[in-house]
Chain A
């Protein structure tokens, strides 16, 4: 069965121009999202995973220079003008963030904020919007009597639920979740992830999840993309990835997560202001050869997997 593609990202290059030089945060990134799957992008902080996600809905600051092709349901959306794109952002692609308070208005009752989304996108009456908002609150398992509460009266987990309700108001096809549970307690994280999973199945949504928590990836992902220093190092199906990661960085990352008391990756993540002549992971890699320093690896397709390493040879 051929999987239907929802989102295709081709040759995505993003750099920020700053007063002290350019910062390359995304270097020729390619990936596709199939309909109905959860795709997780993992990587250490500063590897560019959030920037890639934000660029999809054009939420980056003005000094970002974005090049590349993004196709949504087969139509290129990277060239659309702002007015046409506003119809996609929110209605087709919605985003939730790590900090709910960065998206919720602190001086507005939460119910009204959910209703506002309906008013803005569907042009419906106030009464109708309120009914819809109450329905959404129930769906995210919030007590309906909190409709008139202000955000500061809610706990972190509840705020997260409100944000999910707002994001899902228009039944988007793609939900981008940028570290949705990083700042939550394990028990609350578990419940939020359960909720996302449930809503995903109910609405046949596709989820693009950005996280650095391998435990979350293990439970949520169908496919996984590993990023390092602005490069997509490996894209694999979940089972393959956890059974046998291919890229040396992915191997080391899994080792460290499994046994942090005995493994470590020496060195630190590189400064993205440098341009890499070779593989960006080369200084920390334990499988490096002389070639790694001078030749930049290209993405190699191996069946369902894509790996960007000179030393991984397709068999």
Chain B
């Protein structure tokens, strides 16, 4: 498998609103994260809200410029390219957002929305029309929607329209940021199957950002668990879900309620604490205030990702 996107030591730091000339306060959204995505591979990023997973996704497709580190796409560093060059790469790198509404101009009809990517990239009308027909049948939308506006179609249809637009220029790499979170389970299934089909047919790289662990476990081959801007555990999805090593991964997986098995799950895992505030970062291991196997070293020293056993499993915990 060839490497499609390679991110090295990515960091994103924001200046806090309360920052003054004398005292600079920073919010570290993403902290020294490295990952690679190969062609035809799907990688999951999971974590609680505010852990920086969406920010990481945005940096991977070049929508946000990292404070430190680099993102390489086919050997070119996209974070350093001038705007005119990035614009040429945009068709190759596409994001899909949770709220498709935010990407659809409310004053455009469905037809115009579908044509928009082709107009922007100077593609002839005949070619565009042919491709739009293909796309519509692919995402299972009918032509009767052409004249409608985004508010006149259902949420699932909007999400599929968003997918069609993201796919229209045949991208190599897609970051899907909670693409099915606000949808009903039957509609959610349609979107997930579409994404899988896309991946299989076009061999594209997919990053699936979500807090829904069940779906990530089914959709991805590799998974990265993120806590307060850093990866705490990475590895093959199957391994990580079957045998989580980091206490946070254990807590996260333990708190997912599923309909598998007969027994109720409540009360089996100890879950406590709230998603952390990036402004008040704990010293040492960021997870230590919520961890039940925390010792002195956890409070003093920040653990780094270490390889564990064979394979590509990495865990950032002093006690793993």
Contact = CB atoms under 8 A, between A and B. Distances in A.
Nearest to A241: B259
Interface centre among B185, B187, B218, B271 (most CB of A within 10 A): B185
B257 interface: yes
Given A242-B259, A256-B186, A186 B213 contact: yes
Given A187-B255, A258-B260, A194 B185 contact: no
B219 A44 contact: no
Interface string B224-265: 000000000000000000000000000110111111101011
Contacts of A199: none
Interface stretch (A93-101, A121-129, A210-218): A210-218
B189 A263 contact: yes
A189 B255 contact: yes
Given A215-B257, A256-B185, A190 B274 contact: no
A214 B90 CA distance: 38
Contacts of A269: 184
Interface stretch (B125-133, B190-198, B298-306): B190-198
Given A214-B185, A260-B218, A188 B275 contact: yes
Which of the four size classes fits the interface of chain A? 35 or more
Contact of B271 (A187, A197, A219, A265): A187
A261 B193 contact: yes
B156 interface: yes
B266 A187 contact: no
Interface string A150-189: 0000010110000000000000000000000000011111
Contacts of A191: 271-272
Nearest to B156: A268
B275 A187 contact: yes
Nearest to A220: B266
Nearest to A215: B257
Given A187-B271, A260-B192, A194 B186 contact: no
Given A187-B48, A194-B267, A263-B189, A215 B258 contact: yes
A122 B15 CA distance: 49
A155 B154 contact: no
Interface centre among A215, A256, A264 (most CB of B within 10 A): A264
Contact of B274 (A155, A213, A217, A253): A155
Contacts of B275: 155, 185, 187-188
Interface centre among B48, B193, B259, B264 (most CB of A within 10 A): B259
Interface centre among B193, B255, B267 (most CB of A within 10 A): B255
B185 A253 contact: yes
Interface in A185-207: 185-191, 193-194, 197
Interface of A: 44-45, 155, 157-158, 185-191, 193-194, 197, 212-220, 239, 242, 252-254, 256-265, 268-269
Interface of B: 48-49, 154, 156, 184-190, 192-193, 196, 211-215, 218-219, 251-252, 254-260, 262, 264-267, 269, 271-275
The 6 closest A-B pairs by CB, nearest first: A215-B257, A190-B255, A260-B189, A265-B186, A44-B184, A264-B189
